[in-house]
Amino acid sequence: MRWASRLKDADRMFLIGALLLALIVLASALAPILSSFDPVRGTSPPMRAPSAGHLFGTDNLGRDVFVRAFAATRLDMMLAVVAVGVSLIVGTLVGAVMGMGGRSKVSGFLNLVVDSINAFPFIVLALGVVAVVGPSVPGVLSAIILTGWARYARVARARTAVIADADFVNAARLLGYGRSRVMIRHVFPNVYSESFAFALSELVIVILAIASLSFLGAGVRPPTPELGAMISEGRIMLTRAWWISVFPGAVLALAALSIQLIADGYERMTRYA
């Protein structure tokens, strides 16, 4: 009952996004399991156009593009969720400390670090990190997290400064609540909700960033299926076998769109509810 009424009130765009995302997640979960094709080793004739047997066709090594694309989506999404999750937690904690810290030396130093990271072009910084760690799954993850947390820190810093000045926090102080109680029960929950909305919108950027890094050869490397890498691989065969690039690209676009719709809808719902 309650869910039904909440569903009716929910933002329409949010629902469309959620539905789309559910389909993509379902497909990425099931495709590699149900299909008899292996996403890494080619067992079919290469460069076949889409057909009933191979919905998205096959690539130059005889691998099924459909299975590969959704295996890649699964990897990309998991990487993005982990990267955003870690950045969110670290960044929000650091940002909250900075927002509360006033003019202490620690918060001055953190401010400098955060502003420096944020001032750098993201992709250049990420490429730099990958150059050190190496193009691999851990490389991509650390690149995204090391550059990403500072954005959450900035959001949390601004939000914390506002909340720390709000009258309900003043009231808490007047009631003699200890510093940690004020922080944990009154400031942080109100900072966190906004950071979470920000994280949802960042998810899109991060998915695209992972794909971009791999596309540039600085991320997940073949033969591991990854959307950016797949688009890159298929690029040179675009005129002869368009499906090798175009289908992974479409899946990437749809995944990004679905998350964007969810993020926008979530923001609208939390703002006006």
Partner 1 sequence: MTEPIITVADLHVTFATPRGDVPAVRGVDLVVAPGETVGIVGESGSGKSTLARAIVGLVDAQSGSVTVDGRPVRPVHGRRSRADAATVQMIFQDPYSSLNPRQRPIDAVAEAVHVCQRLDRKASRARAMELLGSVGISQAQCRMKTRSLSGGQRQRVSIARALAAEPKILVADEPTSALDQSIAASLLNLLRRIQSERGIAVVFISHDLGVVRYLAHRVYVMKEGVFVEDGVTVDVFEAPRHEYTRTLVSSVPGAGTTVAHGHAPAQE
Contact flag: residue 159 with partner 1 (CB under 8 A): no
Tokens of 20: 């789309």
Count of other CB atoms within 10 angstroms of residue 95: 27
Smallest distance, Å, CB 192 to partner 1?
A: 9
Please report whether residue 185 would count as binding partner 1 according to CB under 8 A: yes
**5 lies in the site for partner 1, by CB under 8 A:** no
242 contributes a contact to partner 1 by CB under 8 A = no
Using rule CB under 8 A, residue 104 touches partner 1: no
Q: Should residue 1 be labelled a site residue for partner 1 when binding is judged by CB under 8 A?
A: no
Angle between helices 243-272 and 188-215 (to 10 degrees): 170
Contacts of residue 4, Cβ cutoff 8 Å, sequence gap at least 6: none
* CB contact burial 3-13 (16+ within 10 A = b; e otherwise): eeeeeeebbee
Chain residues 43-82 in contact with partner 1, contact rule CB under 8 A: none
Counting contacts by CB under 8 A, is residue 103 touching partner 1?
A: no
Q: Minimum distance between the CB of residue 197 and partner 1, rounded to whole angstroms?
A: 14
228 φψ region: left (φ > 0), alpha (ψ -120 to 50), beta (else)? alpha
Query: At its nearest, how many Å lie between partner 1 and the CB of residue 13?
Result: 22
Rounded Cα–Cα distance for residues 140 and 206 (Å): 10
Backbone angles phi and psi of 63, in degrees to 5: -95, 145
Question: Rule CB under 8 A: is residue 170 a binding residue for partner 1?
Answer: yes
Answer for which of 7, 34, 174, 239 binds partner 1 (CB under 8 A) is 174
Task: Decide: is 181 part of the binding site for partner 1 (CB under 8 A).
Answer: yes
Among 40, 166, 238, 253, binds partner 1 (CB under 8 A): 166
Contact 107, 115 (CB under 8 A): no
Which residues of this protein are in contact with partner 1, per CB under 8 A? 166-168, 170-179, 181, 185-186, 189-190, 193, 273
